[in-house]
Amino acid sequence: MLGLRNCQRGLYRPFSITKSSSVQRCRSFGIHRSLATSTSKPLKKGPPRFVKLIATATGVSAIVYGIDEYYYSSLLQRSARAVYVLLWVAYQYGANVKSYDKIEDLHEEASEKLLQMLSANKGLYIKLGQAIANNGTVFPLAYQKRFINLYDAAPEDSWSSIDRTLRRQLGENYEKDIFEHFDHKPMASASIAQVHKARLKKEQQDVAVKVQHPYISKQINVDLAIYRGMSWVYSNYVSDQLVKESDFRHESANAAKLSELLSNDRQMDKLNIYVPKNYDDYTRRPILVTEWIDGVSLADKQKLIDAKLNITTMMTQYVNAFGRQVFNYGFCHSDPHPGNLLARIHNGKQELVILDHGLYVTLPEKFRKEYCAIWESLFSYDTQRMEEIANSWGIGDASILTTMVQLRPPPKDFIKKNSSSYDIIKSFLGDETKFPLQMLFLSRSMRMMQNLNQTMGSPVNRINMFTNCALQTLTEERKFSLIHPGPWVSLLRVKFSLFLSNLVFLFFRLKQLVTGDKYGDRGEGIEDYIESYMKETAKYMGIEIA
């Protein structure tokens, strides 16, 4: 039997027939004729070596793809996609730009490739793309038009994947042990997490349960490593903030801290700002359980109007709440877009509710005081102080600091001196190593505030309100005396400038009310004027703004 088995093995091994010892054994079993016949014909060769290599590589690739897809949440695919697209963009702008007839054509092609990559990769890539959209004026028009679409690109996870996360973090029977009711359909979804409505059994309280997308924890370190590798000056600082945002325990701590600061601030007593309560007993790194609030999102202007909520009151609360965070607390909510804010009537008073406390910036004391001084100096015309701060921040021209801080057009003499975008960059980047990285998030937040005020019809004088917040802090911290009248003179000068600024604002607002443009549908508010003037100025310098 052993010989027969060897014979059979020999028959299925054509490359070793003539030399195999099994052939001799086969002859002894009387099948020499058949072997002789077969050996008289040309032997069929097996597949070439390179075919085997391709087949092996294909099999290995399929296995790697499966592991990457189902166990590592497409980490390798996403990373490869990101590196390829980013290198392609860098090559086109760096070495291949002359192959395009117009630079606008390159902007169109590159922005489309980047948008497709960000949308496909999801997660933090969506978050980073949204950050670009918020600072759109830094980028060419093609980027501004496309990247705004990323706000609609937030994915929703299936209930089965969310359920696995909840079971792992809260226990197998969490739906029975902790909750009286849990809605499996998400109420909202964002780049990092999605929100479900539920009711706590013990506390008898409706809550919002924020559950991180399961793939975020697996992807975040590699995503940010690629982001750091492909970015230049400020990527590490931004990356560190995003890592904190992905840990919902930080978010709970941030919310508690802001709530305490607001409750201890007498200046905020009458403004009715509310931060929802968090339930730390059920909060984990990927899960946040917080008080459910019924209100109207500031992202829906028509619903706010239909609910008869006072838009001016709402914007006054919004601007002052952010102003106190910046100038007084030195602890700032850095994602104050309309979707993270609700307006409601509570106990007979209109209230502004601040949500989503994942991204905060703590301002160093030196920077906080300098930032206060900038707003005072802008209205007291203290150019010497402005130049001192600009130099300490590594900014070559103090005039551009005015534009960055207040989001208003630069002075005419600056425009004359800097007639191109290249000149502006030279004026801005005196010494980038000195630039305070906190300004990245403050400028982003200021842009959100300006956009919302403009969308609502410019019901408040944003710049005046913010300056008054700075003055309140300076007045609280500064020592005034008759022996040293300097601070008094500066304060009076600022107050007079604010008075004149308010007259201009009231002129625009009265014109809106007379012409029926109370909510800004015709674009005749003061923020519309500021933006229009900035666009014209930017166009003169060769920069397009959407």
**How confident is the model at residue 136, as a pLDDT?**
54
Q: What is the C-alpha separation between 171 and 165, in angstroms, rounded?
A: 10
Which residue has better confidence, 258 or 391? 258
Q: Please name which of 192, 160, 331, 163 lies closest in space to residue 259, comparing C-alpha atoms.
A: 331
**In the chain, helix, strand, coil percent, each to 5?**
65, 10, 25
Reported confidence tier of residue 517, pLDDT bands at 50, 70, 90: very high
Radius of gyration for the chain, computed over Cα atoms and rounded to the nearest angstrom: 32
Residues 6+ apart with CB under 8 A from 285: 212, 217, 247, 248, 249
Q: Please name which of 476, 409, 452, 439 lies closest in space to residue 319, comparing C-alpha atoms.
A: 452
Domain borders along the chain are 2-39, 49-152, 156-214+247-292, 362-540
- Give the least confident one: 225-234, 292-301, 302-311, 355-364: 225-234
> What is the DSSP code (8-state) at residue 336?
-
Location of structure tokens 């701590």: 253
β-sheet bridge partners, residue 288: 210
**Whether 275 contacts 352, CB under 8 Å:** no
Q: Does pLDDT of 420 surpass 50?
A: no
Q: Please name which of 343, 351, 434 lies closest in space to residue 391, comparing C-alpha atoms.
A: 434
Q: Which amino acid is at 434?
A: K
Average pLDDT over residues 216-245: 63
Q: Does pLDDT of 322 surpass 70?
A: yes
Whether the CA torsion 433, 435, 438, 443 is positive or negative: it is negative
**Whether 247 contacts 285, CB under 8 Å:** yes
Q: Is 140 left (phi over 0), alpha (psi -120 to 50) or beta?
A: beta
Q: What is the C-alpha separation between 62 and 410, in angstroms, rounded?
A: 57
- The DSSP result for 471-498, as a single string, is HHHHHHHSPP-SS--HHHHHHHHHHHHH
Q: Does pLDDT of 112 surpass 50?
A: yes
Most confident of 15-19, 289-293, 416-420: 289-293
Q: Does pLDDT of 528 surpass 70?
A: yes
Q: Does pLDDT of 116 surpass 70?
A: yes
**How confident is the model at residue 410, as a pLDDT?**
61
Which residue has better confidence, 192 or 271? 271
**How confident is the model at residue 482, as a pLDDT?**
65
Q: Does pLDDT of 387 surpass 80?
A: yes
Query: Distances from the Cα of 239 to the Cαs of 23, 147, 201, 445, in angstroms?
Result: 69, 20, 38, 17
Reported confidence tier of residue 221, pLDDT bands at 50, 70, 90: low
Average pLDDT over residues 221-232: 58
Residue environment code for 426-452, b if the CB has 16+ CB neighbours within 10 A, otherwise e: ebbeeeeeebbebbbbbbbbbbbbbbb
pLDDT tens track for 427-442: 455 566 788 888 878 9
pTM, full prediction: 0.75
3-class secondary structure for 391-437?
Answer: HHCCECCHHHHHHHHHCCCCCHHHHHHCCCHHHHHHHHECCHHHCCC
Q: Which helix (H) or strand (E) holds 236?
A: helix 235-245
Q: Does pLDDT of 227 surpass 90?
A: no
Reported confidence tier of residue 152, pLDDT bands at 50, 70, 90: low
Longest dimension (CA), the chain: 126
**How confident is the model at residue 256, as a pLDDT?**
98
Q: Which two tokens stand for residue 531?
A: 């933006």
Reported confidence tier of residue 25, pLDDT bands at 50, 70, 90: very low
Q: Does pLDDT of 5 surpass 90?
A: no
Reported confidence tier of residue 546, pLDDT bands at 50, 70, 90: low
Which residue has better confidence, 419 or 114? 114
Q: Does pLDDT of 80 surpass 80?
A: yes
Which residue has better confidence, 58 or 124? 124
**How confident is the model at residue 32, as a pLDDT?**
42
Query: Distances from the Cα of 256 to the Cαs of 253, 278, 284, in angstroms?
Result: 5, 8, 15
3-state secondary structure of 251: helix
**How confident is the model at residue 214, as a pLDDT?**
85
Average pLDDT over residues 9-24: 42
**How confident is the model at residue 530, as a pLDDT?**
85
Q: Does pLDDT of 402 surpass 60?
A: yes
- Phi, psi (degrees; rounded to nearest 5) at 212: -65, 140
For the domain covering 156-214+247-292, report its CATH number: 3.30.200
pLDDT tens track for 248-286: 999 999 999 999 999 999 989 889 999 999 999 999 999
∠ CA 117-153-453 to the nearest 5 degrees?
A: 120
Reported confidence tier of residue 4, pLDDT bands at 50, 70, 90: very low
Q: Which two tokens stand for residue 256?
A: 């508690």
Q: What is the C-alpha separation between 508 and 76, in angstroms, rounded?
A: 55
Q: What is the C-alpha separation between 439 and 445, in angstroms, rounded?
A: 10
Average pLDDT over residues 125-151: 73
**Whether 214 contacts 161, CB under 8 Å:** yes
Residues 6+ apart with CB under 8 A from 169: 284, 286, 287
pLDDT tens track for 476-492: 888 776 677 777 888 89
**How confident is the model at residue 22, as a pLDDT?**
44
Q: How far apart are the first and last CA of the chain?
A: 85
∠ CA 465-466-471 to the nearest 5 degrees?
A: 95
Which residue has better confidence, 540 or 444? 444
